[in-house]
A = this chain, B = another copy of it.
Amino acid sequence: MTSETRRLTRKGQETRRRIVAAAAQLMYERGLTEATLEDVRAAAGVSGSQVYHYFDDKQALLLAVIEYQTEAVLDLQQPLFDKLDTMAGLRQWRDSLVEYQRRLQCRGGCPIGSLGSEVAENNPEARLAVASGFLRWEAAIRQGLQAMHARGELRGDPEDLALATLAALQGGLLLTQLQRRVKPLEVALDASLDHIESLTERDRPHAGTASAT
Contact = CB atoms under 8 A, between A and B. Distances in A.
A212 B165 CA distance: 17
Interface string A167-182: 1111110110111000
A152 interface: yes
A163 B177 contact: no
Interface in A120-155: 120-122, 127, 130-131, 134, 152, 155
Q: How many copies does the complex hold?
A: 2
Contacts of A166: 171, 175
Interface string A109-122: 10001101110111
A46 to B, nearest CB: 24
A157 B113 contact: no
Interface core residue of A120, A172, A183, A210 (most chain B CB under 10 Å): A120
Nearest to A183: B163
A15 interface: no
Contacts of A109: 117, 120-121
A190 B194 CA distance: 14
B121 A108 contact: yes
A164 B120 CA distance: 24
Interface in A24-61: 29-31, 33-34
A5 interface: no
List of 6 A-B pairs having minimum Cβ-Cβ separation, nearest first: A171-B171, A167-B171, A164-B191, A167-B188, A170-B171, A157-B212
A199 interface: yes
A192 B160 CA distance: 12
B168 A167 contact: yes
A2 interface: no
A67 B23 CA distance: 32
Contacts of A165: 191
